A and B are shown apart, each in its own frame.
Chain A
Amino acid sequence: MADEVRVVIADDADLVTARAEARAMAERLGFPRPDPTLIATAISEIARNIVVHSGGGEIVLKPFEDANRYGLVVIATDAGPGIRDVEAALRDDYSGRGGLGLGLPGARRLMDEFDLVSDAENGTTVTMKKWRYRDELARLREERSRRA
């Protein structure tokens, strides 16, 4: 299994690296199209949020797998001032400082799971996941066992 990749996010040039690393890992893990592009786009938004709102942070990309699924976890952390109103930041019409309101809700739509924790002391952590069932049979089995 591929190892985790860590990208330091300090300025806008690091977004180029983050996008390329995200695509490379998604392709390495076997994600079908268009997933590598969706993942790279979501990571680009999260990385830009770090640059604009906090001045610096990092993004860790990690593969994960369980019995039926494989996937990619993205953990983005910064030590910035935190987001005062998280719910508002995830709304489509919200535009915080820098007018990047679209970034977070857009990124959320491109991924399967999205979680945001933020406070003034610890900054902001965004955790996003994209996953795929190994095959259609595994997906059906899992759905059946959940219903049972």
Chain B
Amino acid sequence: MSVAILREGDYLIAAILSDLTDKEVVELRGELIAMVGRYRSRGLVIDVSALDVIDSFVARALRSIVLTVRLRGAHTVIAGIQPDVAIALVQFRLNLGPLRAALDLDAARALLDQLTGGEAEDGR
């Protein structure tokens, strides 16, 4: 699958490297949810800057990852939505309510620090 997943301390960084099929999107969702539990991650960044189309299926999958990962105790930030993709998402009128987004990876890490900062460290 063309997704690179890295561990960075308490965070997982998943960078989508090329357009994905629907099946790969569903696999990615399962894998990320499992990894958040396995590594006790407190934050997840999904870098979508390589995607030049985010249609309703992918948007819904992202939304579902955000909500599921939240129930596993971690926050998600979507990084790098391209400007044209942002325009398409708005025109499409998808419900992206629970999504937190940041301009790039650095901004996403900073936002995660904010989101997870108020919670107790687990002492590791």
Interface on A for B, CB 8 Å cutoff? Answer: 12-13, 15-16, 19-20, 23, 33-34, 36-38, 40-41, 44-45, 48, 92, 100, 102-103, 106, 109-110
Contact = CB atoms under 8 A, between A and B. Distances in A.
What is the size category of the interface that chain B forms with chain A? 20 to 34
A109 B91 contact: yes
A107 B23 CA distance: 21
A102 B94 contact: yes
Contacts of B56: 45, 100, 102-103, 106
B84 interface: yes
A110 B22 contact: no
Contact of A106 (B20, B84, B94): B94
A106 B91 CA distance: 8
B39 to A, nearest CB: 29
Interface in B73-88: 82-85, 87-88
Contacts of B85: 37
B19 A16 contact: yes
Interface stretch (B8-16, B47-55, B98-106, B109-117): B47-55
Contacts of A110: 88, 91-92
Interface in B11-51: 19-23
A109 B84 contact: no
A16 B22 CA distance: 9
A41 B92 contact: yes
Given A36-B84, A40-B53, A41-B54, 10 more contacts: A12-B22, A15-B21, A16-B20, A37-B82, A37-B85, A37-B88, A45-B56, A48-B55, A102-B56, A109-B91
B30 to A, nearest CB: 16
B87 A34 contact: yes
B88 A34 contact: yes
Contact of A38 (B20, B82, B87): B87
A127 B55 CA distance: 19
